[in-house]
């Protein structure tokens, strides 16, 4: 008498789910269909011959027009390929094809990463939080603030310590945060001692409920270097307020080259080189990324012996042009506010025009080491050495990656270069990401590659693979699924 098998075990990740008929595992990526584990998403192949920007359409055997696919036309991605974790057997697809007369092999697998995270670049003039401050999602620590770069602030989120080194809640929250960010979804974060921020790849950040519009054109000194000639003859002094380097045109080298007269101005802050001042105010959400609303608070007493005189005209402006003010010294050498003259408005607008849009960029970063290399070759370190020697090209979902120098295969990739929903997860918790290694057939065999598992491109398109027969073709470079 035949027994009905109610559940079967999925070996696609370390969780090893028992999956009931017609149900998916914990990751929602694999299902039990009539007693067989199948992928819920088809393997993705990018076709360079289709029109770029065309909507991604599923491509199954029944839809194929039967034309011969040339190796140079397509990019074999690992999206939907499945995995052979813990890689005691070859990767799900090892595909051979000819490109410009040379035989190549592409090894694809959906890699399971505990050692991974994202680097988030946020283009904004606002101060988000102190360096090394903890970043939280739903109250759980998921990362920290990194260094500020030119017009941007950086966050480092994820990593194995947050995924596995803390509480279960911290691990689950970290995994959810990484997955949403990698799949181009919005995530709300809070920074200890700093701001609340909504981050989404390719979108403007929302800081404390306000959507940002532009990043700074440069620091205060750089702004003077760019626009000093625009102000000459129209105003006697210009101060560009910035939380890092506040600039003063009359003292600045650019002003001196243009023949700017001394004004006797006094800036409260630590003087660096002429016309450049550090620490004029604390970081914040005010003028130029400082915590001030009244720019006059950074000025000391004016010095008549060094050029200050009644009627002297001064403009103060932020590094984005969002804030500006105009003053005239009275008989007591006290700045009095006046309406900005019309002839100075174009220079403020020019600062605004030169500010790029404020955006969030999300780069997935991981160490592709461990057993996944065994899915490509019998000698894992040979693959690592081949990548470092530039014999093997690494891509993630068909997108080119930046491979860090040094040991291992550590890489970063811009998530906007991948199709939507390219990333998955397993509840260990860990992130699942598509990974492809492309190398000449000759070099692949020299690496100890799995010769017996190599399949022709046409066979893959025709028959699919181990976890089901689905394959899809998409327009190369399209982002809309």
Which pLDDT tens digit goes with each residue over 374-394?
889 989 999 999 999 999 999
Q: Of 89-98, 200-209, 248-257, 433-442, where does mean pLDDT reach its minimum?
A: 89-98
Q: Give the per-residue pLDDT at 475.
A: 40
Q: Give the per-residue pLDDT at 25.
A: 80
If you average pLDDT over residues 161-185, what whole number do you get? 97
β 424-426/18-20 pair status: unpaired
What band does 79 get if pLDDT is binned at 50, 70 and 90? confident
Contact call for residues 227 and 239 (beta carbons, < 8 A): no
Q: Give the per-residue pLDDT at 368.
A: 87
What band does 49 get if pLDDT is binned at 50, 70 and 90? very low
If you average pLDDT over residues 142-166, what whole number do you get? 94
Task: Give the residue, 459 or 401, on which the prediction is more confident.
Answer: 401
Dig out the tokens for 319 from the structure: 């590094």
Residues, the chain:
481
What band does 481 get if pLDDT is binned at 50, 70 and 90? very low
Task: Indicate whether 411 pLDDT > 60.
Answer: yes
Task: Indicate whether 89 pLDDT > 70.
Answer: yes
Task: Give the residue, 98 or 338, on which the prediction is more confident.
Answer: 338
Q: How is 172-241 classified by DSSP, letter by letter?
A: HHHHHHHHHHHTT--EEEEETTS-EEEE-TTS--EETTEE--B--SS-HHHHHHHHHHHHTTT-SEEEEE
Domain extents in the chain: 127-213, 220-353
Give per-residue pLDDT as tens, 223-257.
999 999 999 999 999 999 999 999 999 999 999 99
Task: Give the residue, 47 or 481, on which the prediction is more confident.
Answer: 47
Per the prediction, the chain carries an average pLDDT of 86
Q: Give the per-residue pLDDT at 446.
A: 94
How does 63-87 read in b/e, with b if 16+ C-beta sit within 10 Å?
eeeeeebebebbbbbbbbbbbbbeb
Which residues, 6+ apart, have CB-to-CB distance to 2 below 8 Å?
none
How does 354-381 read in b/e, with b if 16+ C-beta sit within 10 Å?
bbeebbbbbbbbbbbbbebbbbbbeebe
Distance between CA atoms of residues 292 and 144, nearest Å: 25
Task: Indicate whether 38 pLDDT > 90.
Answer: no
β 93-99/454-456 pair status: parallel
Distance between CA atoms of residues 262 and 307, nearest Å: 5
Report residue 241 CA to chain centroid gap: 29
Q: Give the per-residue pLDDT at 18.
A: 86
Distance between CA atoms of residues 36 and 32, nearest Å: 5
Q: Give this prediction's pTM.
A: 0.82
Contact call for residues 280 and 288 (beta carbons, < 8 A): no
Give per-residue pLDDT as tens, 262-283.
999 999 999 999 999 999 999 8
Which residues, 6+ apart, have CB-to-CB distance to 56 below 8 Å?
419, 472, 474, 475, 478, 480, 481
Q: Give the per-residue pLDDT at 136.
A: 98
Q: Give the per-residue pLDDT at 266.
A: 97
| Cis before 314 (ω within 30) | no
If you average pLDDT over residues 117-121, what whole number do you get? 98
Q: Give the per-residue pLDDT at 419.
A: 87
- Its sign, for the CA torsion 87, 93, 97, 100, is negative
Q: Across the strands, what pairs with 410?
A: 367
If you average pLDDT over residues 405-432, what whole number do you get? 92
Contact call for residues 463 and 470 (beta carbons, < 8 A): no
Distance between CA atoms of residues 282 and 183, nearest Å: 36
């Amino acid at each position: 008498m035949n027994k009905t098998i109610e559940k079967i075990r999925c070996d696609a990740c370390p969780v090893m789910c028992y999956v009931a008929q017609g149900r998916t595992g914990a990751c929602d990526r694999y299902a039990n269909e009539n007693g067989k584990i199948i992928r819920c998403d088809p393997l993705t192949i990018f076709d360079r011959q289709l029109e770029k920007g065309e909507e991604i359409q599923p491509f199954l055997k029944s839809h194929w027009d039967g034309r011969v696919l040339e190796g140079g036309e397509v990019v074999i991605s690992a999206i939907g390929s499945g995995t052979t974790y813990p890689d005691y057997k070859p990767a799900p697809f090892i595909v051979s094809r000819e490109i410009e007369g040379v035989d190549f092999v592409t090894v694809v697998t959906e890699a399971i990463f505990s050692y991974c995270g994202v680097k988030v670049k946020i283009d904004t003039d606002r101060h988000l939080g102190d360096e090394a401050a903890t970043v939280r999602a739903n109250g759980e620590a998921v990362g920290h603030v990194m260094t500020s770069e030119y017009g941007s602030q950086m966050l480092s989120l994820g990593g194995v310590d947050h995924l596995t080194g803390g509480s279960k809640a911290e691990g689950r929250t970290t995994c959810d945060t990484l997955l949403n960010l990698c799949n181009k979804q919005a995530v709300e974060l809070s920074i200890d001692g700093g701001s609340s921020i909504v981050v989404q790849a390719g979108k403007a950040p929302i800081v404390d409920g306000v959507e940002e519009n532009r990043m700074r054109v440069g620091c205060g000194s750089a702004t003077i270097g760019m626009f000093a000639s625009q102000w000459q003859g129209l105003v006697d002094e210009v101060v560009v307020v910035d939380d890092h380097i506040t600039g003063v045109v009359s003292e600045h080298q650019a002003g001196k080259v243009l023949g700017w007269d001394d004004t006797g101005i006094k800036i409260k802050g630590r003087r660096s080189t002429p016309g450049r001042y550090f620490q004029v105010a604390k970081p914040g959400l005010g003028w130029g990324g400082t915590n001030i609303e009244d720019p006059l608070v950074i000025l000391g007493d004016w010095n008549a012996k060094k050029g200050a005189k009644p009627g002297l005209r001064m403009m103060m402006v932020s590094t984005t042009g969002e804030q500006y003010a105009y003053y005239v010294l009275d008989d007591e050498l006290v700045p009095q506010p006046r309406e900005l003259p019309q002839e100075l408005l174009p220079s403020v607008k020019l600062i605004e025009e030169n500010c790029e849009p404020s955006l969030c960029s999300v780069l997935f970063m991981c160490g592709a080491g461990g057993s996944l290399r065994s899915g490509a070759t019998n000698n894992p370190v040979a693959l690592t050495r081949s990548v470092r020697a530039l014999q093997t090209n690494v891509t993630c979902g068909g997108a080119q990656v930046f491979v860090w120098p040094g040991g291992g295969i550590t890489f970063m990739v811009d998530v906007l270069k991948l199709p939507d929903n390219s990333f998955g997860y397993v509840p260990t918790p860990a992130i699942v990401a598509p990974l492809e290694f492309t190398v000449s057939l000759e070099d692949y065999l020299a690496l100890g590659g799995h010769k017996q598992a190599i399949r022709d491109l046409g066979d893959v398109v025709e028959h699919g693979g181990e976890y089901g027969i689905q394959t899809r073709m998409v327009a190369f470079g399209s982002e809309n699924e």
